[in-house]
Amino acid sequence: MTDQAPQLLPAELSGFEHALATLPDGYSEGRFQGRPWGVTVKRSADGKRVWLYGEELGGADIVSFNLYVLSGASLTLKPCEMASSKVVDFVLGFRPASTRRPA
């Protein structure tokens, strides 16, 4: 067993970073693979860590990870007890519920 963090391919990283950046801080709900999910995102004040925890509403599936910004623009993804591919697929596929504001 190694301590090496999963590395994302450049194409995955670009899409992953963009998708993660569009998720709001705090709790939100949306859909992943047609099922409802609740997701909490927390970003550190210095912008060097992003934590995400999501769970399928009415189901048993979860997604959880920390993303660390290292020196330069290097990123390290640390999934919590799951494959990094599951985390990447979730972030790329999660669609937050649209909120309509009164006109």
In a domain, 43, yes or no: yes
Three-class DSSP category at 17: helix
Give a yes or no: residue 86 inside a domain: yes
Q: What is the pLDDT of residue 10?
A: 55
Instruction: State the residue range of the domain holding 47.
Output: 26-94
Q: What's the rounded mean pLDDT across residues 34-58?
A: 96
Per residue in 57-75, pLDDT (tens digit) is: 999 999 999 999 887 778 8
Q: Is residue 103 part of a domain?
A: no
Q: Which helix (H) or strand (E) holds 101?
A: none
pTM: 0.81
Let me know if residue 79 belongs to a domain: yes
User: Measuring CA to CA, how many Å separate 30 from each of 19, 22, 34, 41, 68?
Assistant: 14, 13, 9, 13, 24
Q: What are the phi and psi torsion angles at 22 (to 5°)?
A: -80, -15
Task: Name the domain count of the chain.
Answer: 1
